[in-house]
Structure 1
Amino acid sequence: MSVVTRFAPSPTGYLHVGGARTALYSWLYAKSQGGQFVLRIEDTDIERSTEEAKQAILDGMNWLGLDADVGPIYQTDRFDRYREIVEQLLKEGKAYKCFMPAAELDDIREQQKARGEKPRYPGTWRDRTDHPDGQPFVIRFKNPLEGKVSFDDHVRGAIDVANSEMDDLVIVRSDGTPTYNFCVVIDDWDMQVTHVVRGEDHINNTPRQINILKALNAPVPEYAHVSMILGDDGKKLSKRHGAVSVMQYRDDGYLPQAVLNYLVRLGWSHGDQEIFSKQEMIDLFSLDAIGQSASAFNTEKLIWLNQHYIKTLPTAEVAVHASWHFEQQGIDITQGPALEDVISVQADRVKTLAELASISRYFYQDYDEFDANAAKKHLRPVAREALEVVQQKLADIDTWSPETIQEAINATAESLDIGMGKVGMPLRVAVTGGGNSPSLDLTLNLIEKSKVVQRINKALDFIQTRENS
């Protein structure tokens, strides 16, 4: 039997970190078994589902590279199929119409709570046939009254739930729309899903869904209910902990490779290994290796991984994602050196791609003003002569390269009998506008010679202005 997994988010918001991890685990298991991964959008909650949220889910999956073999499939396109199965269950006496008003059911539940009982529907309309005409109703599934539901969860182990603990589940609302627990069952059956990976908050739904599957004589998939993700403070991950939307991590400058690597380790491990390529994840992943304990999100660890991937991935691969950040910051990367070359000299100096774009602006556009502290310290009258001499030597270079640039800087220091810093620092501020950059030979090599000479002129004018003020 071929393995089929699915990720089935509800489009009522962005793709959050917990959902992304579930999608990753589902995707990895399908790939590791040579199976198929289905993306299903569970949009039956029509009032809360939005097109924007649907697109956010698709964007998040696309950015992470979790491509679906089937889908996206939308539940709202399958209402005819759900109605067909409902009619079948009604005909077979496995479901029934319930005319109990919502207010009456609320009163019953409040009385049950007052008696210390578990609030539940009492089965009033389970076997009644005196259906009132023109009255609104819901359709409930006839849950077995005796016995139990047993299943072996890949994460939780053996789970047993007595049928007496469950009431008759509403499968169609009074407005005629099918409910989540019912649609999930029909979808998993029709899509031949063999393994369901989802959050532990769905454990209570599983016995109900298994009973519906059995009523339909449908195969029951295997389940793996993963623990929740906690924030650094041990509380459920939420907006107060920072970015919880997958696309927010994109916006903040993280590589998808770093996010995937971090997510896979939030509950799954392979010995002490910390860094995994996507192929290694596929080769090594196992549902049975997912831990039961909740995982705490550690932003510092994610930053460390992001730095690792910025430094070690091929620069062309980093550039694919970095170019977006340059565009967001209004930097035209067509007006300067190849982005891959900039990444190669800046990779060791940044934590995020957003930071990479921010500190690389001078490669592509002239700065408006000097960094105040750097200019105050290094663009002083004493630096004038060194800048004039090095400017001339740089202008005289025939072949612009790191080697010839370094030779010009060295020659300037020698001719003036001064330390390298008294040439290098004023030159760095003159060319970049600030006091930090990669080594000058590499930095200047990525900027056109004419621009370097022009920017030194700007620094000399700045010094002249300070002298005259």
Structure 2
Amino acid sequence: MSVRVRFAPSPTGSLHLGNALTAAANRRFADERDGILVLRIDDTDPARTLEGGEEAILDDLRWLGIGWDEGPVRQSERAALYADAAGRALERGAVTDPDGAIRLGHTTLLRPGGTATYQLASVADDLSLGITHVIRGSDHRPNEAVQQLIARALGGELPEVLHHGLLLGDDGRKLSKRHGAVSVAELRDGGVPAAAVRSYLEDLGLPAHDVRLDRARIGRLAIDAIAAMPDEELAAVAGVPAGYAQALRGARTLVEAEQLGRQLVDPEPVSLPPAATPTLERFVELRAGAGELDEAGARAIVRELKAVGGDLRALRLALTGAESGPALGAVVAALPSDEAVERARRAQVSD
């Protein structure tokens, strides 16, 4: 039997990092076994359905590079399947309440209005879609026994269930909005590359126990991911020519890379005091005579200026309009010679 797993989020908006962990775990489990991942949208409860919520989930999955092979299968479109499942459950011991609800033991299968509950819809879908393994967070562990009873009442068996540990906040409690920046969209908007988030989730794998969210680890992975981006890709994100990309390699986020890019292509104008003139004039001499520079050549210019007591802070201000930013050698290497010379001259003021 071929492996079939499913990722089944509710359409409540951007994926929580804990849900993204489940998505990545299901994708990896399927890939390692030449299996199929079904994307199912659990939207039987209108109160939990957010307008645009499904689209946000699909965007997050695409951004993370987590594809699906079938779906999206929407539970809101499968009412006939659930009605049929409830009918089979009635033949095997379920009962109809006076209000019209259908119940198996203490578990409601159909609400009085005829809509399926999470428990019935989830089991009926797993059986009808041929799911072989259910991989989900350990907060669903209490559902397993109930769902096995429902599966048998429908004439089947629950798929094999694997529960993984949850992502927790620094306080040891389940992640929520109080912990800040815990959704995929928030990380994306904050400039964390998709490769960094995906690497973090892959590193976690299928944790046997709960783990605390390691923001520092995500930050380190973000720096590594930016460092590994091709020049053209990084430059496009930052909105700069490809030749400027190397100066952005130390950025901690793509938002920061964009900010550094603005320093390079559109620096704030500065007028430096006369004390900075010797440094700027010497830089002009060195840079104008150097022609095209690689980073080693640019660092040599910076070293020479430093050796004679040059004001490197003033040079950075002249070239970027800011007191901090990319390594000065990387800035000198990135800027074309005529542009660097013009900025250095423009920043000088006469006595």
| Same-fold call, TM cutoff 0.5 | yes
On the 8 A contact 2:247/2:334 being kept in 1, the answer is no
1:189 and 1:317 map into 2 onto residues whose CA distance is 47
Larger radius of gyration: 1
5 Å matches for 1:56-455? Answer: 56-90=56-90, 92-99=91-98, 136-141=99-104, 167-266=105-204, 268=205, 290-291=207-208, 293-311=209-227, 313-316=228-231, 319=234, 323-324=236-237, 326=238, 332-333=239-240, 337-338=241-242, 341-347=243-249, 349-365=250-266, 367-370=267-270, 379-388=272-281, 390-391=283-284, 394-395=287-288, 399-402=291-294, 406=298, 409=301, 419-422=307-310, 424-438=312-326, 440=328, 442-455=330-343
Label 1:307 to 1:441 Cα distance change in 2 as closer, same or farther (>3 A): closer
The code of the aligned residue for 2:268 comes to D
Structure 2 residue runs without a partner (length 5+): none
Q: Which moved more, 1:402-411 or 1:215-224?
A: 402-411
1:3 touches 1:195 (CA, 8 Å); kept in 2? yes
Give the superposition deviation at 1:441: 5.1
**Which AA in structure 1 matches 2:256?**
E
**Distance in structure 1 (CA, Å) of the matches to 2:21 and 2:303:** 57
Are 1:171 and 1:178, in contact at CA under 8 Å, matched by a contact in 2? yes
Tell me how far 1:423 sits from its aligned partner.
Answer: 6.2
Determine if contact 1:7/1:39 at 8 Å carries over to the other structure. yes
In the alignment, residue 94 of structure 2 is paired with which amino acid?
A
How many equivalent pairs are there?
351
Which amino acid counterpart does residue 246 of structure 2 have in structure 1? S
- Letter aligned with residue 280 of structure 2: L
Q: CA deviation at 1:389?
A: 5.0
- 1:368 Cα deviation after fit: 2.8
Distance 2:87 2:18 in 1: 36
Task: Give the AA of the match of 1:380.
Answer: P
3-state SS in 2 of match to 1:5: strand
Structure 1 residue identity aligned to 2:277: R
How far does residue 238 in structure 1 lie from its aligned partner after superposition?
A: 2.0
Contact 1:40 1:71 in 2 (8 A): yes
Contact 1:412 1:423 in 2 (8 A): no
Deviation at 1:358, TM superposition (A): 1.6
TM-score normalized by structure 1? 0.68
Mapped partners of 1:3, 1:241: distance in 2? 36
Aligned residue identity for 2:346: K
Residues 392, 41 of structure 1: CA spacing in aligned structure 2 closer, same or farther, 3 A cutoff?
same
Task: Quote the offset at 1:32 in angstroms.
Answer: 0.9
Partner of 1:7: 7
1:263 partner amino acid: L
- Separation of aligned partners in 2, 1:261 and 1:355: 20
Shift of 1:407: 10
Bigger shift: 80-89 or 34-43?
A: 80-89
Q: 1:149 corresponds to which residue?
A: none
Distance 1:384 1:16 in 2: 54
**Which residue identity does 1:95 align to in structure 2?**
A
Distance 1:23 1:406 in 2: 46
Going from structure 1 to structure 2, the CA distance change for 1:411 and 1:219 (only over 3 Å counts) comes to closer
Give a deviation string over 1:390-426, Cα, whole Å, max 9, x none.
Answer: 43664566x433489759958996xxxx944416543
Given that 2:280 and 2:344 are in contact with CA atoms closer than 8 Å, whether structure 1 keeps it comes out as yes
- Contact 2:5-2:135 within 8 A present in 1 as well: yes
Q: Secondary structure at the match of 1:51?
A: coil
Question: What RMSD in Å do the two structures reach over aligned CA positions?
Answer: 2.9
